[in-house]
Amino acid sequence: MAMVVDYQHDLSFPYWTSTRRRFDPDSPFFSSGNIERELLAKQVALDLTEDERNQLEKMVAKDARGVFCPIVGCGARLISLEDFEDHYNARHTASCSVCSRVYPTSHLLSIHVSEAHDSFFQAKVARGYAVYECLVEGCGLKFKSYKGRQQHLVDKHKFPTSFEFFKKALPSKKQRQKNHRKQAMHKKDEEASSKMEVENETMDGLVSAVSKLSTSDSSPSTVSFGRRHTRGLTFVPRSVQHEKRADFRLAGAKR
Amino acid sequence: MADDSPASHRRDPIKSSVGNVAAQRRRQNAVTVGKERRESLVRAKRLCRVGPSADGDVPVEGNDMITDEEEFLLEAQTSSAVEDLKSTVAYQGKGAMQKRVNALRELRRLLSKSEFPPIEAALKAGAIPLLVQCLSFGSQDEQLLEAAWCLTNIAAGKPEETKALLPALPLLIAHLGEKSSLPVAEQCAWALGNVAGEGEELRNVLLSQGALPPLARMMLPNKGSTVRTAAWALSNLIKGPDPKAATELIRVDGVLDAILRHLRKSDEELATEVAWVVVYLSALSNFATGVLVKTDVLHLLVERLATSNSLQLLIPVLRSLGNLVAGDSHTTSTILVPGLEITDGVIKVLVKCLKSEHRVLKKEASWVLSNIAAGSVEHKQLIYSSEAVPLLLHLLSTAPFDIRKEVAYVLGNLCVAPTGGDGKPNLIQEHLVSLVQRGCLSGFIDLVRSADVEAARLGLQFMELVLRGMPSGEGPKLVEREDGIDAMERYQFHENEDLRNMANGLVDKYFGEDYGVDE
């Protein structure tokens, strides 16, 4: 006997419900069968070559008016859903070979690599050079600090104030357990000069602002770039406890 | 059919095509022919190239690549044939009838020679009024037949060409009558089938002119090509979108009986056309569906699905079954009760379709299964324990997208209990656990990655079931292992707000701050 599990649900998620689905005879759902009907009926007098069959299938696919890439700001037109997968992998996944974070463009990836993994970059920062590049392609302005760039993005390019280019990655399980222990012991022992300046205030702002984002401007509505490919806390959880998070340092930054 | 290229509206036949220009024009022509050919192939209209008596006096040409010169010649011949016809129609003297028939025959041959008859030339030369005259009452059968044949092929063309038949319609309908000879009635039915296949507007004209009852009566005999042609024409006539015609058809005396008889006993070709009639009856008219399910039609459809290997027949039979199941919950709840022989029979033939190599059968069989799986818990158990599940799991990872989407519906429906009155989403853990253990999760996560909103939604909904319903909190780990988090993260920059919220919601809830901490 199948077990039926009861669950207390919250109303915001549209749960799977099993319902009957009916289609009108002219629904696109039936179009491949309809086309097959006519082809079979006329094939008696005709010789459909393999090529023509393929053309016809493409014609059906085109009838579905192709597909537009749904990633905000992309709008690329693709012939089929299969094409979309190729397109997405080519255009919207650029991953860092050092830390596996994934970025939607190679421009952002290269900025990340400099800022997160390049010690020369850090050296220049320490010497006061303006090396933090603006994220918007074509702008070209550079800044001396992460925060400075941040401000520029907000002021000049209308990024949401809670935007964060560099997100803390979730450390490995071992590291997490270590951090928890450490946290318990060294609660006040904060390292003053974090190279990744994620301010507490920004973090607060981030947490509350994430839910208020919209896609009215051209910048992506959600703020988390640089998510790790295999592990994923890209979305800042609404219930996040930011004090804990502020203490998490990227293990990689210290290497 | 005239050259569609905008550059040369009028072709100059005296100059011979030379070199590059000619080659280019031929290529252009080939593209046009290619497109036209494809469109003509998928149209619901059918050319008549061989007569009812299969007279072998016209070789049916297979090669559709006629040159500019040949095309021009054909058009010229057509125009002159129409001119001939005009004079024979005017002529009242001795042997007038024979002359008329000869002229009609000549025109008919020109209109039947190739895949692309010179319809436009015929219309321009004024063929229609002449053909209408040739259909007048009391005319000889041969004359009626040839005239109707010409009209059939004219109606098989482009929309405006089909519409040109309007003046002829009342006469064509009249000659469907029981006093007409069978070949004449059949040819008129064919012409009307092409007209009906054009679109809703013309269908409505035909219906208001009373085309339905005589065509319906032509379906009553046990066999013959006339029955088949009439069934085909009817399927075009009732295809809606207005359900009125479908409802009217099932009410005609003797039609229901004839449909069942043909489904039960007739040869596959005839059964195919009748099955298409059932497709439209069941898709459009609730009344017709109600009438049909009270008969043994489901049994007949199952029989055909079990015994036939003709794709042409299987498609409409499967779809009829699907429509009857989808159209009325009564079908699943009262007729396809688990435990009954008919229900086992239905599952069995659906499994057979899943095993087929044909895409349409796999997709639509999955659709039907998903609707049965939307029934009671007993229905879900029945499908779950059948041969269908291993096939579905395999299809979920290997089949083309449209099939995978339908399969997803079946599997997901197996995992949730029928929606109770209070709308609580309860799941059937036994089924969920088993299906996930058998590896279906990655297939659903693949759907999340697709650009299709409906598929992504399904994938996310299934992921929610896994995250919530897998015992011992295994869900999040399983999802992570299959790169589910990555798939959900795509929605950060996605345009669709619903999907963004769904994905966000799941990540927030199950992959939050404390994820993986207490291990």
Decide if A237 and B498 are in contact by the 8 Å CB cutoff: no
Decide if B315 and A36 are in contact by the 8 Å CB cutoff: yes
Q: Does the interface ipTM go beyond 0.90? A: no
Decide if B486 and A37 are in contact by the 8 Å CB cutoff: no
Number of residues assigned to chain A: 255
**What is the pLDDT, as a whole number, of residue A161?**
64
User: What is the dihedral sign for C-alpha B64, B69, B73, B76?
Assistant: positive
Chain B nearest-CA residue for A77: B451
Q: Name the token pair of B119.
A: 């319809």
Decide if B502 and A222 are in contact by the 8 Å CB cutoff: no
Chain B nearest-CA residue for A33: B360
- Chain A CB contacts of B47 under 8 Å are 45
- Chain A CB contacts of B416 under 8 Å are 15-18
pLDDT at B351 over 70: yes
Long-range contacts of B159-164 (CB under 8 A, 24+ apart): B159/B198, B159/B199, B161/B119, B161/B120, B161/B123, B162/B45, B162/B194, B162/B195, B162/B198, B162/B202, B163/B198, B163/B202, B164/B123, B164/B128
| Residue B40: closest CA among A43, A200, A161, A128 | A43
Across the A/B interface, how many CB contacts are shorter than 8 Å? Answer: 241
- Chain B CB contacts of A41 under 8 Å are 46, 312
pLDDT at A231 over 60: no
Average pLDDT over residues B413-431: 83
Chain A nearest-CA residue for B413: A18
Residue A47 corresponds to which amino acid?
D
Query: Is residue A106 very low, low, confident or very high in pLDDT (cuts 50, 70, 90)?
Result: confident
Alpha carbons A132 and B236: distance in angstroms, whole number = 68
pLDDT for B439-484, tens place per residue? 999 999 999 998 899 999 999 999 999 999 999 989 999 999 999 9
Tell me which residue in A7, A52, A72 faces B495 most closely, judged by beta carbons. Answer: A72
Average pLDDT over residues A12-27: 92
**What is the pLDDT, as a whole number, of residue B93?**
82
Contact A33, B358 (CB under 8 A): no
Burial A22-41 (b: 16+ CB within 10 A, else e): bbebeeebbebbbbbbbbbb
Number of residues assigned to chain B: 519
Contact B353, B362 (CB under 8 A): yes
Higher pLDDT, A245 or B477: B477
Please name the helix (run of DSSP H) or strand (run of DSSP E) that holds residue A143, with its range, or none.
Answer: strand A142-143
Which residues, in sequence order, are bridge partners of residue A228? A101
Chain B nearest-CA residue for A4: B428
pLDDT at A112 over 80: yes
- Chain B CB contacts of A12 under 8 Å are 501, 505
Tell me which residue in B240, B468, B493 faces A222 most closely, judged by beta carbons. Answer: B493
Average pLDDT, chain B: 89
Decide if B424 and A59 are in contact by the 8 Å CB cutoff: no
Could you give the 3-state DSSP secondary structure of residue A25? Answer: coil
Q: Name the token pair of A103.
A: 């970025």
Q: What's the gap in Å between the CA of B81 and the closest CA on chain A?
A: 25
**What is the pLDDT, as a whole number, of residue A246?**
34
Question: What Cα–Cα distance (Å) separates residue A234 from each residue in A229, A231, B135, B138, B462?
Answer: 10, 9, 76, 83, 21
The HSE-up count of residue A105 (CA atoms within 13 Å, CB side) is: 12
Chain B nearest-CA residue for A11: B424
Tell me which residue in B283, B374, B417 faces A25 most closely, judged by beta carbons. Answer: B283
- Chain A CB contacts of B381 under 8 Å are 2
Tell me which residue in A16, A23, A37 faces B412 most closely, judged by beta carbons. Answer: A16
Lowest mean pLDDT among A232-236, B37-41, B411-415: A232-236
**What is the pLDDT, as a whole number, of residue A194?**
38
Alpha carbons B512 and A26: distance in angstroms, whole number = 45
**What is the pLDDT, as a whole number, of residue B2?**
40
Tell me which residue in A7, A84, A173 faces B468 most closely, judged by beta carbons. Answer: A7
Tell me which residue in B241, B419, B506 faces A17 most closely, judged by beta carbons. Answer: B419
Q: Which residue's structure tokens are 């459809």?
A: B301
Average pLDDT, chain A: 65
Name the phi and psi angles at A120, rounded to 5. -65, -35
* pTM of the entire predicted model: 0.76
Q: Name the token pair of B455.
A: 């598929």
| Residue A222: closest CA among B175, B494, B287, B342 | B494
Tell me which residue in B38, B360, B412 faces A55 most closely, judged by beta carbons. Answer: B38
Q: Under 8 Å CB-to-CB from B373, ≥6 apart: which residues?
A: A18, B379, B380, B383, B409, B410, B413, B414
Omega cis (within 30) before B471 = no
Could you give the 3-state DSSP secondary structure of residue B399? Answer: coil
Decide if B451 and A7 are in contact by the 8 Å CB cutoff: no
Decide if B311 and A36 are in contact by the 8 Å CB cutoff: yes
Query: Is residue A136 very low, low, confident or very high in pLDDT (cuts 50, 70, 90)?
Result: confident
User: What is the dihedral sign for C-alpha B369, B373, B376, B377?
Assistant: positive
Q: Name the token pair of A64.
A: 């579905």
Decide if B485 and A85 are in contact by the 8 Å CB cutoff: no
Decide if B492 and A24 are in contact by the 8 Å CB cutoff: no
Decide if A222 and B37 are in contact by the 8 Å CB cutoff: no
pLDDT at B430 over 60: yes
pLDDT at A253 over 90: no
Higher pLDDT, A45 or B315: B315
Higher pLDDT, B400 or A245: B400
Query: Is residue B512 very low, low, confident or very high in pLDDT (cuts 50, 70, 90)?
Result: confident
Average pLDDT over residues B254-262: 97
pLDDT at B378 over 60: yes
> Number of helices and strands (H, E) in chain A?
9, 8
Decide if A231 and B485 are in contact by the 8 Å CB cutoff: yes
The distance from CA B93 to its chain's CA centroid, rounded to whole angstroms, is 50
Q: Under 8 Å CB-to-CB from B82, ≥6 apart: which residues?
A: B107, B122, B125, B126, B127, B130
Burial degree of A151 (CB within 10 A; 0-12, 13-18, 19+): middle
Q: Name the token pair of B399.
A: 């089949």
Decide if B495 and A40 are in contact by the 8 Å CB cutoff: no
pLDDT at A180 over 60: no
Alpha carbons A67 and B322: distance in angstroms, whole number = 28
Q: What's the gap in Å between the CA of B41 and the closest CA on chain A?
A: 6
**What is the pLDDT, as a whole number, of residue B36?**
74
pLDDT at B79 over 90: yes
Chain A nearest-CA residue for B321: A22
Could you give the 3-state DSSP secondary structure of residue A101? Answer: strand
Chain A nearest-CA residue for B514: A240
Lowest mean pLDDT among A213-227, B225-239, B410-424: A213-227
Q: How many CB atoms lie within 10 A of CB B414?
A: 27
Name the phi and psi angles at A175, rounded to 5. -60, -40
pLDDT for B99-109, tens place per residue? 999 999 999 99
- Chain A CB contacts of B327 under 8 Å are 22
Higher pLDDT, B464 or A165: B464
Decide if A36 and B417 are in contact by the 8 Å CB cutoff: no
Burial degree of A19 (CB within 10 A; 0-12, 13-18, 19+): middle
Decide if A72 and B326 are in contact by the 8 Å CB cutoff: no
Tell me which residue in B37, B412, B519 faces A173 most closely, judged by beta carbons. Answer: B519
**What is the pLDDT, as a whole number, of residue A104?**
63
Q: What's the gap in Å between the CA of A27 and the closest CA on chain B?
A: 11
pLDDT at B205 over 50: yes
Residue from B203, B405, B427, B492 to probe the interface with A (highest A Cβ count within 10 Å): B492
Average pLDDT over residues B90-94: 83
**What is the pLDDT, as a whole number, of residue A228?**
42
pLDDT at B87 over 50: yes
Q: Which residue's structure tokens are 């318990």?
A: A184
Tell me which residue in A4, A35, A102 faces B417 most closely, judged by beta carbons. Answer: A4
Q: Under 8 Å CB-to-CB from B19, ≥6 apart: which residues?
A: none
Residue B41 corresponds to which amino acid?
L
pLDDT at B341 over 50: yes
Decide if A13 and B505 are in contact by the 8 Å CB cutoff: yes
| Residue B247: closest CA among B275, B212, B276 | B212
